[in-house]
Structure 1
Amino acid sequence: MSSSKSSMNSLIFNVAGGAVLLTVAGYMIMSYVTTPLVEPCSTRFPAGQKFTFTGANGKPLSAVELQGRANTREWGLLRNAKVVPGTSGAAESTLEVALASTENEDQVNQNGVGFTWHLPELEKASAACLSYSAYLPKSFKFKESGYLPGLFGARDIAQIDLLKPDEGFAVRMGWAESGDLGVDVRVPSAGGHFEGPNRKTLWQTGRWTKIEQELRLNTPGKADGVMRVWIDGGLTINRQGLSFRVIPESRLTGVVADIGYARTLSDLAALRVSPFLVQAQ
C-alpha cells in the first residue's frame, strides 16, 4: 500500500514538475515571438518638423525645387522623382520615385533617389521619432533588397554610406529579397546588417503603410541604445542594448531619404512616400 502511495506521489510530482517546465518554456517562446506593448513614438514625442513636398504657394514642388531643399548628398531627384498632388483638398502631396537608373557613369548600379534632410535642432536631442507612409504597388516584385527613409547621425555625411562607419550611424527602413520588412543598420559596433522583427513580417503592397521609427542614443561606451519600429500602429521591432555611437560628438542629424534597390537595379517600379515628420526629445 505504501509503495503504491509513494508511486502515486512520485507521479503527481513529475506531472507538476513537467507542467512548470512547459509553462516556463512557453513563456520563453512567447517572450521571443511577441513584442511588449509600447505606444507609437508619434504619440509620445512633442510636436516636430515636417518635410513637405508642397511649396509656399501651395503647389507641388518641381524636381528642381525639391533638389534645392536637399543637401549636398543627392542623386536621382531630377531624373527619377516627381511630386504628385493630393487626391483631395485635405490630402498632402506625395513623392513618387521611379526605381530606375540615375545614369551615373561612376556608379552604374545607382537607382531611385537619395538625399538627406538635416535638422539642427536634433543636435541636442537624445531621441528622435520619424514617421511617414510608403506605398508599394501591387505589382512590386521583391527580387532585390531595397531602402526606404530612416534616421541618421554623422558629422561627416560620407560615413552613412559605409557598411561600418567610424563614428556615424544610419538606420534605413527597407525590404529583403523575399519581401521581409526590416531595417538596414549601419553602426560602428556591428557594421551593416539587416534587422528584422522577431516574427516574419512582410511588406504589404497595393496600399499605404504607416511607418514610425524611434531611435534613442546610447551613452558612449555603453550599449544602452534603443531602436523601435511601428507598422500601421503596431510595434514590430523593439531592440534594446544597442550602440549607435562611440563618441559624445556623434549626434542625431536628420533623415537619410534613400529610396531604391540596395545593390543592383532590378525591375522598374514606382514607389510613393508621404511627407516626413521628425519629432525629438
Structure 2
Amino acid sequence: MFQLRYPAGSVNPGSDPQGGADFYAVPPSLKSILPAARNVTLEYSVYFPEDFDWVKGGKLPGLYGGHESCSGGDDAESCFSTRMMWRPGGEGEIYLYAPRDKQASNVCATPPKTVCDSVYGMSLGRGSFAFALGGWTRITQTVVLNTPGSPDGSLDLDVNGQRVMSVQGVYYRNAPSASTPQNASCWIHSTFFGGHEQDYATPKDQFTYFGDFVMTVNS
C-alpha cells in the first residue's frame, strides 16, 4: 500500500504546488509479452478518507497504449488511455482518450451519463458507481483492443466485483503490427485534482491510498 498527497491549492503534477503523481509502469514479468497483448486487465484498490473533499473531480490510474502523454488534449491518433476519474460526490467514470470520430455511436451513449463533447477526453458512464468514503473501492478494468481500423474493441469495468460498465465498439488503434506502439499496453498511475483549471484545486491537504495492483494479460 502507498499514500498519495495532494497539497492545498494543487491541481496536477505539472503545476505549482505539485499535486498527486503521474507516471507509467510496466510489470517486469509482463514486459516481453505486453507489446503483442490484445486483452489486458488492470486491478487495484483505492481508499478515500471520510473527510475527502471531491471538489470538481480528479484522475485515477488506468491502462494506456502507444506513446506516453496520451492526455491533456492529445488528438489520440497514436495512443489511448483508460484512466478512472472521480467527480463531485464521488461519482465514478472511465475517462477515455482514443480517436473520438472513429468510435461506434453507442460509445458516447454509455449510461447513465457520458460526455463526449470535451476538447479533452471522453467521460464514459459518469455516475455508474460511486467511490467509497472511509473505505476501499476495488477497480477492475479490461481493455480488448480493436481489430486495426475497425471499431470492435471493448472496455469493461467491475467495481467491488460487480460489472458496472461494458462498452462495445471502442476504437483504440489503427496499426496492424505488434511492433508498432499502438499495441503496447501498461498502466498509467495518474492521480491528481483536475482538469487543469484552478477551480479543480483541492482547498486543503488531502490524501488517497492505493494497493493490490494486479495486471493480467488475458490474450
**Structure 1 length-normalised TM:** 0.61
Indicate the percent of aligned positions where both proteins have the same amino acid: 24
Matches within 5 A, 1:74-85: none
Q: Does 1:193 align with 2:125?
A: no
Shift of 1:123: 0.7
Corresponding residue for residue 15 of structure 2: 107
Matches within 5 A, 1:230-241: 230-241=158-169
Corresponding residue for residue 125 of structure 1: 37
Which amino acid is 1:256 matched to? I
Which amino acid is 1:231 matched to? V
Corresponding residue for residue 139 of structure 1: 51
Q: Aligned match of 1:266 in 190, 202, 213?
A: 202
* CA spacing shift, 1:224–1:109, aligned 2, 3 Å: farther
Question: Size of the alignment, in residue pairs?
Answer: 185
Distance in 1 of aligned mates of 2:77 and 2:100: 9
Name the structure where strand makes up a greater proportion of residues: 2
1:72-123, Cα deviation, whole Å (9 max, x unpaired) = xxxxxxxxxxxxxxxxxxxxxx11001124997x633752111110353211
Corresponding residue for residue 158 of structure 1: 69
Distance in 2 of aligned mates of 1:259 and 1:225: 26
Contact 2:11 2:192 in 1 (8 A): no
Contact 1:152 1:160 in 2 (8 A): no
Structure number with higher relative contact order (C-alpha < 8 Å, ≥ 6 residues apart): 2
4+ residue runs over 6 A deviation: none
SS at match of 1:260: strand
Corresponding residue for residue 255 of structure 1: 187
Q: Does 1:176 align with 2:87?
A: yes
Distance in 1 of aligned mates of 2:213 and 2:56: 25
**Structure 2 length-normalised TM:** 0.77
SS at match of 1:244: coil
Which amino acid is 1:252 matched to? A
Larger radius of gyration: 1
Name the structure where helix makes up a greater proportion of residues: 1
Q: CA RMSD in A?
A: 2.2
SS at match of 1:203: coil
* CA spacing shift, 1:159–1:260, aligned 2, 3 Å: closer
Q: Aligned match of 2:147 in 201, 212, 219?
A: 219
Distance in 2 of aligned mates of 1:215 and 1:117: 16
Distance in 2 of aligned mates of 1:255 and 1:279: 11
* CA spacing shift, 1:162–1:252, aligned 2, 3 Å: farther
Distance in 2 of aligned mates of 1:180 and 1:245: 29
* CA spacing shift, 1:188–1:103, aligned 2, 3 Å: closer
Unaligned runs of 5+ in 1: 1-93
Distance in 2 of aligned mates of 1:270 and 1:135: 9
Distance in 1 of aligned mates of 2:124 and 2:194: 15
Distance in 1 of aligned mates of 2:72 and 2:213: 21
